[in-house]
Amino acid sequence: MTDDSSRAFVPGHVTGFFSVHEADDPEKAGSRGAGLTLSDGVTVEVEPAVETSMQLNDEPAAVEAVTRVLSALGVEARVRATTDLPVGAGFGVSGAAALGTALAANRTFDCGRSENELVAIAHAAEVESGTGLGDVVAQARGGVPIRLDPGAPEYGRMDGVPAWTRIEYLTLGERSTSAVLSGNTDRLSEVGVDKLVRLVEEPTLPTLMETSREFAREADLLTPEVESVVGDVLAEGGEASMAMLGETVFALGNGLSRAGYDAETCETYPAGARLEMP
């Protein structure tokens, strides 16, 4: 790191179920739903540059939400994001990169914004890019977030499942979030609201997993591969579901390895996105 660079860490976030809420103002648009933030996340380093550029795991990369954040702050920067998480697989990597860029750029360039203002900038950038609706506010909160109302901090009401757990995940392939979000989401949203009502009545991890499984099936998002892996975990007495929106299965505890899969391991992340010590 150079003297004038700053670094932030943002947890990954898997959504279990969600409903889409559109609005003209991207700060008011978003999703309601629930998921888990993860100790596996994205580290973002920002330093001043003559012209904006971005790298993801040391390769040149384009994440629209990141460039939108830099434009909103009126700065040109070199952004370096690193992550062990698969990209485009339902872990909110684009939201994490946007939020990490907002936090680190604010410090590097002395932009003088508050945390809520930076979350709002990253949320709006993510919504306008079509790559996510609720990841940024969940990643800013940490834990096992329940998104009661959609939108940036000024609008979105949040709660959480008071829990900590080890998590395993297995990615079978990529799935474009923007392709799903730009299609008809009426049915998906109807099911998502239904599951939210259930989870609010009983805010526990088993209910989160059960409602997530029902959502994936009833909203017609399951693929045969994901369904078969989830079925194997359940058959061994474990809890698993599909990460929205990706070809990814996540399980509580050691559910995937117990079913014979070679899975990645992490845990829920108790806190929200944060700047790191220089």
Residues forming contacts to ligand ADP in the complex (CB under 6 A) are: 56, 61-64, 87-95, 131-132, 176-177, 246
Q: How many residues bind ligand 2JD (CB under 6 A)?
A: 18
104 vs 275: CA distance, rounded Å:
7
Closest-CA residue to 192 (of 224, 158, 220): 220
Residue 97 one-letter amino acid: A
Given ligand ADP, ligand 2JD, none, residue 73, with its beta carbon under 5 to 8 Å by kind, binds none
**SS (HEC) of 88-105:** CCCCCHHHHHHHHHHHHH
- The count of other CB atoms within 10 Å of the CB of residue 108 is 20
Give 221 or 234: the residue with its C-beta nearer to ligand ADP.
221
3-state secondary structure of 135: helix
104 vs 223: CA distance, rounded Å:
38
Minimum distance between the CB of residue 115 and ligand ADP, rounded to whole angstroms? 21
Of positions 46, 72, 125, 133, contacts ligand 2JD by CB under 6 A: 133
Contact region with ligand 2JD (CB under 6 A), list: 79-87, 92-100, 155-163, 166-174: 92-100
Q: Are 14 and 86 in contact (CB under 8 A)?
A: no
**DSSP run (H or E) holding 179:** helix 177-181
Give 30 or 238: the residue with its C-beta nearer to ligand ADP.
30
Minimum distance between the CB of residue 23 and ligand ADP, rounded to whole angstroms? 19
Of positions 41, 132, 156, 272, contacts ligand 2JD by CB under 6 A: 132
Closest-CA residue to 72 (of 80, 64, 82): 64
Q: Does position 245 bind ligand 2JD by CB under 6 A?
A: yes
Given ligand 2JD, ligand ADP, none, residue 171, with its beta carbon under 5 to 8 Å by kind, binds none
CA distances from 44 to 8, 49, 186 (A): 5, 15, 35
Given ligand ADP, ligand 2JD, none, residue 102, with its beta carbon under 5 to 8 Å by kind, binds none
3-state secondary structure of 36: strand
Binding-site string for ligand 2JD from residue 14 to residue 33, where x marks contact by CB under 6 A and - marks none: -x--x------------x-x
Residue closest to ligand 2JD (Cβ): 134
CA angle 51, 53, 59 (to 5 degrees): 155
Given ligand ADP, ligand 2JD, none, residue 18, with its beta carbon under 5 to 8 Å by kind, binds ligand 2JD
Contact residues for ligand 2JD (CB under 6 A)? 15, 18, 31, 33, 90-92, 94-95, 131-135, 177, 244-246
